[in-house]
Amino acid sequence: MQMIKNYILIFILSLSLPSLGFSETILSTNGIKLSEITPNLSEPWGMTFINDDNLLITEKTGEIIRINMKTGEKHSIDHELDFFYYGQGGLLDILYNDGYVYVSYSEDREQGKSSTSIARGLYNEQKIIFENIFRAESPISSGYHFGSRIVIKDNYLYASIGERGKGMIAQDITNHPGSIIRIHLDGSIPQDNPRFTIKPKWLPEVIQIGIRNPQGMYLSPFDDEVYISNHGAKGGDFFGRVEFGGNYGWKTIGWGGTNYIGTKIGDGSAWKANFTKPLWTWTPSIAPSNILIYNGDLYPEWVGDVFVTSLKYKTLYKLNFKNNEVLSQDIIFEDLIGRIRDIETNSKGELFLINSNSNASLWKMSKE
């Protein structure tokens, strides 16, 4: 079959594990093994470790789930987030930090409109009481392009805000969609953001504009910079660095892509000198979701490389990333677990993946 041409499926088997109380499915290809930890997840979107034994997962359909990593058992955590499950919207990214849980989600606003919003609450195994610390303005009637990953650097929270399918709104400095924002962990606004330094007309939370649908974001452990992955249109997906006061150019440029009907984006330029330049682009599109820059002890040969999860091609890519330059790309595996939504690592350097299906699973990836 066409989808199997780049790998050989060595084995698919189920093992009964009475001591753990669940059955484990193992997939293997080209020296990579994927072990199923927890099945029957409903459109999982984001995940974050509390510690090596406990992982939180958001389901786009509305659940926040704690996974016992020793047994694979699921435990639902109550919340009262007013989320908007429609199209690409729902509960999105999740991040645990210093006793707090941060969630990005599509918030149900007035008259059928929604926004990419961020809430935080003290962690509790039964119920988390969330309070909004950011709401993208203005709310929009659309089920597209919410973003939205979150990372924490020092006392700052960075988040990617999609342009909701509205194109040139990403160049509109009076709106948040199509930008990267930076706030303090309590939602207050840093007084050294571009608004107060080099971009006096920008909204106070915004540090970069001109982005389409950035569903990946990671803080590099090597240079302390924040990096993103971004969906282009028909081509033009990219990996790049967040630039303070920068502009990636959407929808004046399309990074090598075209509109879905085949027409040019802007004048057809892939990039122009007054815009931030991506470090790597994909045409045709791979539909990148989250990214991870590896720094674990378990796989020293991967240290410094960037893992990129692909929804469209159901593939885990690896970028050879040295000295702020992408040298090459490898495929780790493809079409084993479906559309790949997120990748995460624990303190041991172990790697975990979730796919985005309505009947999805949490997987552990290792080398055979």
94-124 per-position pLDDT tens digit: 999 999 999 999 999 988 899 999 999 999 9
Q: What is the model's pLDDT at position 29?
A: 86
Looking at the 3D structure of the chain, how many domains does it have? Answer: 1
**Above 50 in pLDDT, residue 163?**
yes
What is the rounded distance in angstroms from the CA atom of residue 176 to the CA atom of residue 287?
22
State what percent of residues in the chain have pLDDT above 90: 91
pLDDT mean over 124-145: 97
Q: Is there a cis peptide before residue 251, judged by omega within 30 degrees of 0?
A: yes
Candidates 177, 173, 240; CA nearest to 213 is: 177
Map residue 31 onto helix, strand or coil: coil
Map residue 75 onto helix, strand or coil: strand
Q: What is the model's pLDDT at position 164?
A: 97
Candidates 156, 206, 140, 157; CA nearest to 179 is: 206
**Above 60 in pLDDT, residue 55?**
yes
Q: What is the CATH number of the domain that holds 77?
A: 2.120.10.30
- pLDDT tier, 138 (very low <50, low <70, confident <90, very high otherwise): very high
pLDDT mean over 200-213: 98
- pLDDT tier, 22 (very low <50, low <70, confident <90, very high otherwise): very low
DSSP 170: G
What is the rounded distance in angstroms from the CA atom of residue 340 to the CA atom of residue 331?
13
pLDDT mean over 116-135: 98
pTM here? 0.93
Neighbours of 45 (CB within 10 A): 28
pLDDT mean over 63-74: 97
Q: What is the model's pLDDT at position 271?
A: 95
Q: What is the model's pLDDT at position 30?
A: 86
Show the domain range for 128: 2-367
- Residues recorded for the chain: 368
Q: How many CA atoms lie within 13 A of 284 on its CB side?
A: 5
- pLDDT tier, 18 (very low <50, low <70, confident <90, very high otherwise): very low
pLDDT mean over 165-174: 97
Q: What is the model's pLDDT at position 7?
A: 36
